[in-house]
Structure 1
Amino acid sequence: MDQDTAIAAFSALAHPTRIAVFRLLVRSAPQAVPALSIASRLDAKPSTLSGHLAILRRAGLIASTRHQREIRYEANLPSVNAMIGFLLSDCCGGQISHCQDILTMLGEETGA
């Protein structure tokens, strides 16, 4: 991920509703979540939520698919991985042993 793409992704997340949507979709991965379910779970107005979803989609953080009249959203996990890789690529001057706290946290999150 280049710097401009990373800035766009981080900017898209710089809003309480958008980061809540993103976190919900990451937790739900790899399952897609219907837009109305997202609105209900986050207690957000569907009309307002659609704008936030569009911003996240343009930043490449989420993807959408249409199933008849329903639109489902999912986290774009390769993009999420690229964003995390961008953040950590220079971490600790390449000394992975200095990143143990991060690795431990990721292991706890995934149950590893």
Structure 2
Amino acid sequence: MENKTAVTLLTALAQESRLSIFRLLVQHGPEGLPAGKIGELLGIPPATLSFHLKELSRAELVLARQAGRFVFYSVNFPTMNDLLGFLTENCCAGSACEVSDPGCQSCL
């Protein structure tokens, strides 16, 4: 992943409502949620929610699919995983470790 791409993705997440939307969608997996349910669960008005979903979609962090009269949104997991990989690719001097591994001092 290029630095410019990572900045675009991180910029899309660098807003409280968008981060909340993204985290909620991560919890709901590939099935995702209809837009109305996202707004209801997070208390975000429809016009504001639409703006934030558009920003996340433009960054390709979320995907939209039509199901009848509803639009469902879900996380673009390959993009999310690419970003996580980019952010951690040089962790622990390139050796495999878990951030929660108490033996990996450089990750704490």
TM-score by length of 2: 0.88
What displacement does 1:3 show?
A: 1.1
Gaps of at least 5 residues in structure 2 are 103-108
Gaps of at least 5 residues in structure 1 are 105-112
**Residue of structure 1 equivalent to 2:16:** 16
**Residue of structure 2 equivalent to 1:65:** 65
Distance 1:64 1:49 in 2: 13
Letter in 1 for 2:6: A
SS at match of 1:72: strand
Count of matched residue positions in the alignment of Structure 1 and Structure 2: 102
Q: Deviations over 1:34-89 (max 9, x none)?
A: 00000000011011000000000011100000122211000000001000000001
Letter in 2 for 1:43: G
**Residue of structure 2 equivalent to 1:100:** 98
Distance 1:103 1:2 in 2: 28
Distance 2:14 2:41 in 1: 20
Show structure 1 runs of 4+ deviating over 6 A: none
Instruction: Pick the structure with more helix per residue.
Output: 1
Percent identity between the two aligned chains: 38
1:1-112 matches, cutoff 5 A = 1-96=1-96, 99-102=97-100
CA RMSD of aligned residues (A): 1.4
Letter in 1 for 2:47: S
SS at match of 1:100: coil
